[in-house]
Amino acid sequence: MPRLIHLSLIVFFFNACAAITTVEESKSIKGIPIQFKNASSQGQRATAVKEAQKLKGKKYKYGGTSPKGFDCSGFTSYVYQQIDITLPRSSSAQSQKGKKITAGAAKPGDLLFFKLSKKGKISHVAMVVSNDKDGLVVIHSTTSRGVIQEKIDDSAYWAEKLLYGRNYIDTP
């Protein structure tokens, strides 16, 4: 009899753990939004970076949204589609959504926005690959070289045009 009780308790706790996992993975329960744990967002961030890096070397194409050719916002939109997040199509529109962050607070998978002209309008977007003691590394589609990964700190051109970032991954 004690063995049956012990076995019942093990089954109960196993099922309870399975239910907890289901709750953490869902986006809402009965209409109430559930915040993802850091482990989930870290996995999503790593997947986004991995998907972006698969596209290194793809050509630039104005208005491009596929591996046949990307413009900057087509690239970020495509990568985010791979992790089931829908972004607005243009870099300007992407810069208006998500949670605004400083470039210094940017994590892998976050988007960074750049002003390329003196008009002050957002005209370029890149995705963060890493941001640590070694510097800020992004991946983006450039008109001259297509999809590349580079360290922003080493580029006087990009560093002076960087404005801010947006976090789309940790936002409900």
Q: From the candidates 60, 64, 111, 140, which is the catalytic residue?
A: 140
pLDDT in the model for residue 7: 41
Write out pLDDT tens, residues 118-155: 877 999 999 999 999 999 999 999 999 999 999 999 99
| Predicted confidence (pLDDT) at residue 10 exceeds the cutoff of 70 | no
Asked if residue 116 is part of any domain, the answer here is yes
124 assigned to active site? yes
Residue 39 binned pLDDT confidence (cut-offs 50, 70, 90): low
Spatial distance between the Cα atoms of 83 and 168, rounded to a whole number of angstroms = 11
Q: From the candidates 55, 72, 162, 169, which is the catalytic residue?
A: 72
Residue 157 DSSP SS3: helix
Asked if residue 125 is part of any domain, the answer here is yes
| Weakest-pLDDT range from 17-31, 133-147, 152-166 | 17-31
Asked if residue 85 is part of any domain, the answer here is yes
Domain count, the chain: 1
pLDDT in the model for residue 40: 79
CATH number of residue 92's parent domain = 3.90.1720.10
Residue 95 DSSP SS3: coil
Q: State the angle between helix axes of 72-81 and 38-53 in degrees (0 to 180), rounded to the nearest 10.
A: 130
Q: From the candidates 48, 58, 76, 124, which is the catalytic residue?
A: 124
Domain that holds residue 93: 36-167
Spatial distance between the Cα atoms of 32 and 71, rounded to a whole number of angstroms = 37
What single string gives the DSSP state of each residue in 44-72? HHHHHHHHHHTTTTPPB-TT-EETTEE-H
Residue 23 binned pLDDT confidence (cut-offs 50, 70, 90): very low
pLDDT in the model for residue 160: 92
Write out pLDDT tens, residues 68-125: 999 999 999 999 999 999 999 999 999 999 999 999 999 999 999 999 988 779 999 9
Angle at 116 between CA 110 and CA 117, to 5 degrees: 145
Spatial distance between the Cα atoms of 124 and 104, rounded to a whole number of angstroms = 18
Distances (CA, A) of 111 to 2, 24, 73, 140, 167: 57, 25, 10, 10, 7
Asked if residue 82 is part of any domain, the answer here is yes
Asked if residue 9 is part of any domain, the answer here is no
6 assigned to active site? no
